[in-house]
């Protein structure tokens, strides 16, 4: 069992739909990251959060520390949102990140 579980693994959506990607982890964390990886391979850091909620444009990330769960929401999805979304957790005693297996999102026009 991976320490960081994401669901779903694959997701398809029509343009304009509201999208939710979930991430669960099993131990206490220092921070939770949401990353985006486009087909070309480069990774963009979307959010780093340790509590509450953050919003950037059409993207919203939330985290519930007690339930060890985070969600990434995309409002009014667009084909350019098609990418792999990865959550990763930090820990208190190391600088390393533990990555989830990613959610592959395809948004169709």
Partner 1 sequence: GAVVSQHPSRVICKSGTSVKIECRSLDFQATTMFWYRQFPKQSLMLMATSNEGSKATYEQGVEKDKFLINHASLTLSTLTVTSAHPEDSSFYICSASALRDEQFFGPGTRLTVL
Q: For binding to partner 1 (CB under 8 A), which residues are involved? A: 30-31, 33, 35, 40-45, 48, 50, 86, 90, 95-97, 99-102
Q: How many CA atoms lie within 13 A of 77 on its CB side?
A: 22
Answer for the pair 60, 75: CB distance below 8 angstroms, yes or no: yes
Nearer residue to partner 1 within complex by CB, 14 or 106: 106
Q: Shortest gap between Cβ of 85 and partner 1 (angstroms)?
A: 12
Residue number, 16 or 52, with CB nearest to partner 1: 52
> Which is closer to partner 1, CB of 14 or CB of 50?
50
Q: Which is nearer to partner 1, 66 or 93 (CB)?
A: 93
Looking from the CA of 12 toward its CB, the CA atoms found within 13 Å total 2
Query: Cβ contacts of residue 54 below 8 Å, gap of 6+?
Result: 47, 60, 61
Give the shortest CB-95-to-partner 1 separation in angstroms: 6
Summarize the chain as % helix, strand, coil (round to 5).
Answer: 5, 60, 35
Q: Nearest distance from residue 99's CB to partner 1, in Å?
A: 5
């Amino acid at each position: 069992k991976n320490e960081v579980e994401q669901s779903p693994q694959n997701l398809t959506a029509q343009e304009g739909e509201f999208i939710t990607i979930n991430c669960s982890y099993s131990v206490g964390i220092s921070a939770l990251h949401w990353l985006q990886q486009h087909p070309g391979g480069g990774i963009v850091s979307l959010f780093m959060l340790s509590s509450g909620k953050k919003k950037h444009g059409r993207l919203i990330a939330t985290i519930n520390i007690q339930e060890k769960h985070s969600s990434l929401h995309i409002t009014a999805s667009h084909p350019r949102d098609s990418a792999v979304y990865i959550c990763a957790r930090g820990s208190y005693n190391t600088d390393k990140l533990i990555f989830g297996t990613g959610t592959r999102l395809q948004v169709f026009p």
